[in-house]
Amino acid sequence: MFTHIKTSAENKEIVSQLTSKLQLGSENIIARIALAYSLSKGEKLSLNDIKDSGGKEYSKAVLFGSNKDYYIAIVALHYGLKITDAKIPKYIKSNIDSGLKILYNELLEKSNFDEINFLNNKIDFGLKVLIND
């Protein structure tokens, strides 16, 4: 299906900044959070608005780890696609790019924040979305 996902060039620096500010260690973690957070917003992104691929590159194994099938299934479910649909990698990329921008903008709005509380609030939001669906 696909082997790599690349963020937009604009998000290359955002990945580094969010990873550093939130003390996440490896940069693939913020990409996973961004994907899940974007999907939790409920918006179905258009592939007509897909960004360039000049940013951070993740192999499928690094991006998803052992949970690859779950992430793909969540994206497929969100967009009403089969898990084998060729558009899934584009939707993954699009949602990672969108989630990175949303998280970055939310962090910019908060001058003083606690990293753990910020992430806990995002996780709590996502869980509430899942429970209410």
To the nearest 10°, the Cα dihedral for 80, 64, 17, 120? Answer: 70
pLDDT at 8: 94
Q: Does the pLDDT value for residue 9 go beyond 70?
A: yes
**63 is in which domain, residue-wise?**
4-132
Number of domains making up the chain: 1
Q: Does the pLDDT value for residue 33 go beyond 70?
A: yes
pLDDT at 129: 67
Give the global pTM: 0.88
- Report the alpha-carbon distance of residue 13 to residue 85 in Å, rounded: 30
- Asked whether the CA dihedral 74, 75, 80, 86 is positive or negative, the reply is negative
Q: Which of 35-39, 89-93, 111-115 has the lowest mean pLDDT?
A: 111-115
